[in-house]
Structure 1
Amino acid sequence: MSTQNQSLMKDFITVAIFHLPQETYILKTLLDRENIPHFFENETIVSVDPFASIALGGIRLKVHPNDTARVQALIDHLNNPLHIV
């Protein structure tokens, strides 16, 4: 990761916390499709050692503050997939 990307990502904030890597897979695909810059903090260590999730406080979805509304809309849609016609 370049120094410029690291400095930009330091401004990112946590918008959601997950306890299992499987919970992040679909969301990661949607965020990539929407071109929303993001990263999942602690994702790798929790993938290797699931009990680390408890010690580290879970897998944190980090995004830029300007993208929080879009990300929250995606999360809300995933949490409520039932659409009655």
Structure 2
Amino acid sequence: MLEYVCLATFTYTHEYLILKLEFEQAALRYYFQNETLIGLIPFSSLAFGGIKLMVHPSDRLIAKQIIDSLNDKSSNLRIV
């Protein structure tokens, strides 16, 4: 998993649930670093650098398009 790249960082798990669903539907290779740790101890998020979205390099462009579409102000589904 060393070749995976970080595309985004989140503070809490509820911030990316829609994004996770979109990635699963697109069959992208990804994982959230520190997801379990911060899920157990939420106030430690800043100490561990947040929850990092790690994406396989070959899926990076599609992942970036999905993130951008969810950040669009006209979208009903948005990343917090």
Q: TM-score surpassing 0.5?
A: yes
Rounded to whole Å, the distance in 1 between the matches of 2:26 and 2:45 is: 27
Structure with higher Rg: it is 1
Q: CA RMSD in A?
A: 1.2
**Unmatched tracts of structure 2, length 5 or more:** 76-80
User: How far apart are residue 11 of structure 1 and its match?
Assistant: 1.1
Counterpart check, 1:30 vs 2:22: yes
TM-score (norm 2): 0.87
For 1:45, the equivalent position in structure 2 comes to: 37
Report which stretch shifted further, 63-72 or 28-37: 63-72
CA deviations over 1:24-52 (Å, ceiling 9, x no partner): 21111110000001100001111111111
**Unmatched tracts of structure 1, length 5 or more:** 1-8
Identity over the aligned pairs, expressed in percent?
36
User: How far apart are residue 81 of structure 1 and its match?
Assistant: 4.5
For 2:2, the equivalent position in structure 1 comes to: 10
User: How far apart are residue 10 of structure 1 and its match?
Assistant: 2.1
Q: What is the aligned residue count?
A: 75
TM-score (norm 1): 0.82
Rounded to whole Å, the distance in 1 between the matches of 2:20 and 2:58 is: 18
For 1:54, the equivalent position in structure 2 comes to: 46
